[in-house]
Amino acid sequence: MKHVFEQKVYFSDTDNYGVVWHGSYLRWMEMGRVDYCAQNGYTLKQLENMDILLPVSSINIKYKSSAKLEDIVIVETEIAEFSGLTATFKQTIKSKETNNVFITAEVVIVAVHKDAKLYRRIPEPLYSIFEKEIKECNNV
């Protein structure tokens, strides 16, 4: 299930050139992944209480064009790949007004314990959620 939300571009999101600073996209992508988990029933606090933390292990971003002050952007987040050990989120940020794509990204996450030890596989309930999402995507 794709998670989608809208975000207004504020002055604090822009750089000296009046366009969205590259780090703002990272913040919105994080919001999308956090809300994706919450949409599937688990807030980050709940996961932490279950001894599950989800750090990013890699990010591949393609910057295609720049959002500007007061634009409304749409942030889309979905699971693209799941290996059992890692989950890859596909994320797109685009203009609400024109549908112009600003960035596309693939973000790989892993699951670790609070003491930073890596899980051998992403634990339940996330394992089942991610596996179900991948199966539904492949059947479409």
Whether 111 and 54 have beta carbons less than 8 Å apart is answered as: yes
Residue whose structure tokens are 């994706």 = 36
State CA 10 to chain mean position distance.
Answer: 20
Calpha distance 92→106 (Å, rounded): 9
Residue whose structure tokens are 């975000």 = 7
Dmax (CA) for the chain in angstroms is: 46
For the question of residue 35 being annotated catalytic, the response is no
Annotated catalytic residue, options 13, 15, 35, 51: 15
Q: Which residues are catalytic?
A: 15
